Amino acid sequence: MMRTEDVYLSSESLQREVKISFFMPAACQPGDPLSLLLINDGQDMEKMHFSSILDKLYTASSIEPLLFAAIHAGEDRKMEYGTQMVPDYKERGARAPLYTAFIFDELIPFIREKFNIPSFTEKAFAGFSLGGLSALDIVWNRPGEFTKVGVFSGSFWWRSVDQEDENYDDNLHRIMHQQIREGKYAPWLKFFFQCGALDELKDRNKNGIIDSIDDTLDVIRELEAQGYNRETDIHYLELADGHHDVFTWGRAMPAFLKWGWSVSR
Q: How distant, in Å, are the alpha carbons of 13, 45, 51, 107, 240 from that of 67?
A: 24, 14, 12, 13, 31
pLDDT at 177: 97
Q: How far apart are CA 57 and CA 194, in angstroms?
A: 19
Residues paired with residue 2 on neighbouring β-strands, in sequence order? 25
pLDDT at 212: 93
pLDDT at 30: 67
Ordered by start, the domain boundaries in the chain are: 2-261
Q: How far apart are CA 119 and CA 101, in angstroms?
A: 20
Q: How distant, in Å, are the alpha carbons of 99, 144, 185, 188 from that of 95?
A: 6, 23, 26, 29
Q: How far apart are CA 245 and CA 89, in angstroms?
A: 25
Architecture label for domain 2-261:
3-Layer(aba) Sandwich (3.40)
Q: How far apart are CA 96 and CA 135, in angstroms?
A: 11
What's the half-sphere exposure (Cβ side, CA atoms, 13 Å) at 194?
Answer: 27
Q: What is the mean pLDDT of the chain?
A: 95
- The predicted-structure confidence for 53-95, as pLDDT tens digits, reads as follows 999 999 999 999 999 999 999 999 999 999 999 999 999 999 9
Give the relative orientation of helices 130-141 and 175-182 as an angle to the nearest 10 degrees.
20
pTM: 0.96
pLDDT at residue 205 tops 90 = no
Percent of the chain with pLDDT over 70: 99
